[in-house]
Amino acid sequence: MLHDPVASKMPLGLVPPRLDEWPAAIRSAELQRGTLVRCGPGVRLVSWPETPRVRLTALAPWLGTELIAVLETAAWVWGASSTPGRPMHLSTQHRRRTRGEPPVGALVHQFSYAPHAIVRYGPFEVTTPLRTVTDLLRLPEEFTHAHRVSCRLLLLSAEIERSLVDGALAVGPPPHRRRARARLSAL
C-alpha cells in the first residue's frame, strides 16, 4: 500500500468535507476567494493537502456511492498522474449496469474486482496501486508515454516489486496477457 506521510499524521477519523454538497454559488465564491482550489475536475479546501483520500473525495460528484476510480483516474488518485484523464475512467463493481445516465465527463466500465483489489476511503473506492498498474498494462489501446510514467511512479511510490506485477498478470484474465508482460519488461 502507498505510504502517505501526510495522512499518517492526521488524526484518525478526520475526513475531507464533501464540497460537492455545498451550493454551487458558495463553491464558486470560495474558489474566487482562494479558500477552495481545483483538484482534478473537483475542488478541495486549500488547507487540505492532496492525498489519495482528498483526491477521491474531490471525485465525489462523479463516483457517487456505486462507482470505483480505475485506470488513469486511479493513477491520478494515487498521485502517479497529473490528470484523472479525459474522460475519467470509472467502473461499477461485479459487472453491474449503472442506474441512470453515466456521469458527464466519465467513461463507465463494468469490471469485476476482488475485495483485495479495492481500497475504500469513506464511501469512495479506488483500485489498489497494484491493480491499477496491471489494468494499465492490459489496456488494449496504445500504451502511451503517460501510461508508462504512471506505471513507473506507481511501482516506485507503492514499492511494488515487478515480480508481483508479473505474477498478477499471469493469474489475471487472459486477454492481452502477452502484450501486458512485454510492456512490463519494457518499463
pLDDT digits (tens, 9 = 90+) for 23-70: 999 999 999 999 999 999 999 999 999 999 999 999 999 998 889 999
Q: How many CA atoms lie within 13 A of 183 on its CB side?
A: 26
Q: What is the per-residue pLDDT for 13?
A: 58
Rounded to the nearest 5°, which phi and psi values hold at 37? -130, 160
Say what the pLDDT of residue 10 is: 43
* Spatial distance between the Cα atoms of 68 and 45, rounded to a whole number of angstroms: 23
Q: pLDDT below 70 — which residues of the chain? A: 1-13, 98
- Decide the pairing of beta strands 68-69 and 124-127: parallel
Residue 120 contacts by C-beta under 8 Å, 6 or more apart in sequence? none
Distance of alpha carbon 66 from alpha carbon 136, whole angstroms: 22
Kindly give, in sequence order, each residue whose CB lies less than 8 Å from that of residue 57, ignoring residues fewer than 6 positions away: 15, 16, 17, 18, 19, 42, 44, 121, 122, 124
Please tell me the predicted confidence (pLDDT) of residue 175: 74
